[in-house]
Amino acid sequence: MKALVYEGVETLVFRDVPMVAARPGEHLIRIRASGICGSDMHAYLGHDARRPAPLILGHEAAGVIEDGPQKGRRVTINPLVTCGSCTACASGRENLCASRQIISMPPREGAFAQFVAMPDRNLVTVPDNVPLEKAALAEPLAVSWHAARLLLEALHPNTERHALVIGGGAIGLAAALALRAMGVKDVTIQEPNAARRAFLTDRCGQQAVAEFQGMVPLVVDAVGYAATRAAASACAAPGGVIAHVGLGEDIGGLDIRRMTLQEITFIGTYTYTAQDFRNTAQAIFDGRLGALDWPELRPLSEGAAAFHDLRSGAVAAPKIILSPWA
Amino acid sequence: MKALVYEGVETLVFRDVPMVAARPGEHLIRIRASGICGSDMHAYLGHDARRPAPLILGHEAAGVIEDGPQKGRRVTINPLVTCGSCTACASGRENLCASRQIISMPPREGAFAQFVAMPDRNLVTVPDNVPLEKAALAEPLAVSWHAARLLLEALHPNTERHALVIGGGAIGLAAALALRAMGVKDVTIQEPNAARRAFLTDRCGQQAVAEFQGMVPLVVDAVGYAATRAAASACAAPGGVIAHVGLGEDIGGLDIRRMTLQEITFIGTYTYTAQDFRNTAQAIFDGRLGALDWPELRPLSEGAAAFHDLRSGAVAAPKIILSPWA
């Protein structure tokens, strides 16, 4: 099969690789759409020790079961493979499973390929009227759905639900969409890149500003750098909550003194539970997350150029989705 | 009246000051017991810009109403004076009131004095069988009660309730007592000072260690320095919660990457709600917080020496309570 292989820092090659083999209980899936994530970019730049070259990246994918009794079933893929039996899994917090794996990280190859193999329980059926390119958004949207859910669960009930999302990439945009789907009417995205800000406003119907002024009870840091955490802890209203998604920089930025005096909560969030993933897929299918027509579609064979363009800031769309069969 | 006046860095003088005047709706209270807080120590060292000299410090006090229809009523004092009408106050989060005042900070003088004046709604009646020295602990114990409550409210329900408290001063010890009163059976205090550790074990019946090994779902940072926050974020189990009480250092320490990947929540907590204060006082009165026989009692006239001894690490007891009439 063909795959886009990460072979070293800033080096991606579209080439033949051995056909993936399905383990017992797994399905072989023909990938039809596979989105590029910020974490793929981290790996591509050599910044992720968990993803050493050579490796097939990619974990935001949808496709069709290739063979067996379920041949032809259209599915979107939850890429987190968890044990299913530990305390975390048993309490519905599979994302905290100590033995969690994710495709695109050893020992599991990723979805920038024509096929992947996945356990049945990781698959969610996609209705016939939903394009697989849209269904492939379930993974990044689930990250933000999970963060938005934790954010709202932590908020004191008698609080006005105004929100700021820092960062207008896919995770930030998806957080804004998830918050709106959960009933938060006033959501602003802070995005310094003018082209992306215009895209968010004109193509995605979002309220976007270069720099937010004021304070709100709900803040999502969808970037994860010291500077964005500093902004988050400055913009959170007294008694407010920050959900933090990114892995940009490991430490620093939070104004702990202010957070203590003003009783601000900071929640580190990572991926999603299996239920969050299913709920997100359903929200995609029934339109609650909007038209989702904002990704840019490209062939996987041109994946190296897509990474290059993303890296240079030349892409206004918050997401590029690659097609292995285009 | 006599008061212990903070006159400059590391300078406290016990001397005559003008008699305090009660505003309309306030009671004049003869102070019988007034504890020394870490924040008094910060001010004494010149580290708190909110508390400029000259100033009467002290905000952990109990006494007796001096005159009027309620003359002789024994009371413990909630030192937070809030507006009572803003959104925060209306939703029972008085500690987030934007116009909150606390005695010992301008414009309100503190309780290291023979008298203070307080609004009626700040007073909780102390039963005759409870010594006022014990009732004066309501304030610091309420700080920890509030932190423990927020900690447990944020914890996922299907989680084993093991707790680590970092710092064995009054706030740390009180957090351990509050957690136990709330049903957490396994609580360890990390305290590097050997004399204080022995005091916690032998006099207070606590489990105390010099350095904690392992991870627990519940962590209280009762110190608030970068080093203790680093310990807190290393010892919090995946999906766990940190409550952070101190104002030692403004920034740094948290391992944000780990908190994000392991979905750890950090709650800045400050003081207490009016209901927390009343609940804490009740828990003191009915014995749920233990014997509370661990403070050291000294005359207010020797307050300067008490601060000096605390500063030099010569005091094993986690709290000194001063008596203005001894």
User: Tens digits of per-residue pLDDT, A82-105?
Assistant: 999 999 999 999 999 999 999 999
Rounded Cα gap, residues B142 and B137, in angstroms: 8
- Please tell me the predicted confidence (pLDDT) of residue A168: 95
Phi, psi for B322 (deg, rounded to 5): -100, 140
- Please tell me the predicted confidence (pLDDT) of residue A242: 98
- Please tell me the predicted confidence (pLDDT) of residue A238: 96
- Residues whose CB is less than 8 angstroms from the CB of residue A88 and which lie 6 or more positions away in sequence, other chains included: A82, A94, A95, A96, A97, A98, B238, B239
Taking alpha carbons only, the member of B207, B214, B217, B208 closest to residue B162 is B217
Rounded Cα gap, residues B116 and B88, in angstroms: 26
**Nearest-neighbour CA in chain A from B265: distance (Å):** 4
Residue B225 in domain:
yes
Query: Quick one: closest CA in A to B244, which residue?
Result: A260
Q: Judged by CB atoms within 8 Å, which residues 229-258 of A form the interface with B?
A: 229, 238-239, 244-247, 249-258
**Per-residue pLDDT at A313 exceeds 90:** no
Residue-range definition of the domain harbouring residue B197: 141-268
* Same domain? B71 vs B59: yes
Residue B316's pLDDT band, with cuts at 50, 70 and 90, is confident
Query: What's the rounded mean pLDDT across residues B307-320?
Result: 92
- Please tell me the predicted confidence (pLDDT) of residue B296: 96
Taking alpha carbons only, the member of B179, B134, B165 closest to residue B245 is B165
* Same domain? A133 vs A259: no
Helix (H) or strand (E) holding B56, with range, is strand B55-56
Amino acid at A304: A
Residue B27 in domain:
yes
Task: Tell me if A260 and B229 make a contact (CB, 8 A cut-off).
Answer: no
Task: Tell me if B263 and A256 make a contact (CB, 8 A cut-off).
Answer: no
Give the position of tokens 């996609």: A126
Q: What's the ipTM?
A: 0.94
Q: How many CB pairs under 8 A join A and B?
A: 131
Residue A193's pLDDT band, with cuts at 50, 70 and 90, is very high
**Per-residue pLDDT at A316 exceeds 90:** no
Rounded Cα gap, residues A32 and A112, in angstroms: 10
* Same domain? A68 vs A20: yes
- Please tell me the predicted confidence (pLDDT) of residue B142: 98
- Please tell me the predicted confidence (pLDDT) of residue A144: 98
The model's pLDDT over B85-130, given as tens digits with 9 standing for 90+, comes to: 999 999 999 999 999 999 999 999 999 999 999 999 999 999 999 9
* Same domain? B259 vs B308: no
- B50 touching A, CB under 8 A? no
Query: What's the rounded mean pLDDT across residues A191-206?
Result: 94
The model's pLDDT over A100-123, given as tens digits with 9 standing for 90+, comes to: 999 999 999 999 999 999 999 999
Query: What's the rounded mean pLDDT across residues A280-300?
Result: 97
User: Quick one: what percent of chain B has pLDDT higher than 70?
Assistant: 100
* Same domain? A129 vs A150: no
| Interface mutation vs chain A, best among B216, B223, B266, most A CBs within 10 Å | B266
Query: What's the rounded mean pLDDT across residues B226-235?
Result: 98
Task: Tell me if A256 and B254 make a contact (CB, 8 A cut-off).
Answer: yes
Query: What's the rounded mean pLDDT across residues B4-24?
Result: 96
Rounded Cα gap, residues A63 and A95, in angstroms: 23
Query: Considering only A221-230, A244-253, B211-220, which range has the smallest mean pLDDT?
Result: A244-253
- Please tell me the predicted confidence (pLDDT) of residue B310: 94
Instruction: Answer yes or no: are the C-beta atoms of B325 and B114 closer than 8 Å.
Output: yes
Residue B58 in domain:
yes
Task: Tell me if B252 and A251 make a contact (CB, 8 A cut-off).
Answer: yes
**Per-residue pLDDT at B321 exceeds 90:** yes
- Please tell me the predicted confidence (pLDDT) of residue B36: 98
Instruction: Answer yes or no: are the C-beta atoms of A5 and A94 closer than 8 Å.
Output: no
Residue B282 in domain:
no
User: Quick one: what percent of chain A has pLDDT higher than 90?
Assistant: 94
Residue B263 in domain:
yes
**Per-residue pLDDT at A314 exceeds 90:** no
- Residues whose CB is less than 8 angstroms from the CB of residue B17 and which lie 6 or more positions away in sequence, other chains included: B1, B2, B3, B5, B56, B113
The model's pLDDT over B62-75, given as tens digits with 9 standing for 90+, comes to: 999 999 999 999 99
* Same domain? B113 vs B156: no
Task: Tell me if A90 and B250 make a contact (CB, 8 A cut-off).
Answer: no
Supply the pTM of this predicted model.
0.94
Instruction: Answer yes or no: are the C-beta atoms of B77 and B123 closer than 8 Å.
Output: yes
Q: Which residue has the higher pLDDT, B262 or B247?
A: B262
* Same domain? A120 vs A9: yes
**Nearest-neighbour CA in chain A from B184: distance (Å):** 19
Task: Tell me if B261 and A268 make a contact (CB, 8 A cut-off).
Answer: yes
The model's pLDDT over A141-188, given as tens digits with 9 standing for 90+, comes to: 999 999 999 999 999 988 899 999 999 999 999 999 999 999 999 999
Domains of chain B: total: 2
Query: What's the rounded mean pLDDT across residues A228-245?
Result: 97
Task: Tell me if A259 and B244 make a contact (CB, 8 A cut-off).
Answer: yes
Amino acid at A186: D
Closest CB from A92, A257, A263 relative to B95: A263
DSSP state of B105: B
Last residue of a domain, one of A250, A268, A286: A268
Task: Tell me if B245 and A260 make a contact (CB, 8 A cut-off).
Answer: yes
The model's pLDDT over B161-209, given as tens digits with 9 standing for 90+, comes to: 999 999 999 999 999 999 999 999 999 999 999 999 999 999 999 999 9
Residue B274 in domain:
no
- Please tell me the predicted confidence (pLDDT) of residue A239: 96
* Same domain? B15 vs B129: yes
Q: How many CA atoms lie within 13 A of B58 on its CB side?
A: 33
**Per-residue pLDDT at B156 exceeds 90:** yes
Residue A259 in domain:
yes
Residue B311 in domain:
yes
Task: Tell me if B88 and A238 make a contact (CB, 8 A cut-off).
Answer: yes
Question: Which domain CATH number covers B48?
Answer: 3.90.180.10
Task: Tell me if B238 and A98 make a contact (CB, 8 A cut-off).
Answer: yes
Identify all chain A residues contacting B253, using CB atoms and an 8 Å cutoff. Answer: 256
Which tokens sit at A118? 């996945």
Identify all chain B residues contacting A246, using CB atoms and an 8 Å cutoff. Answer: 260
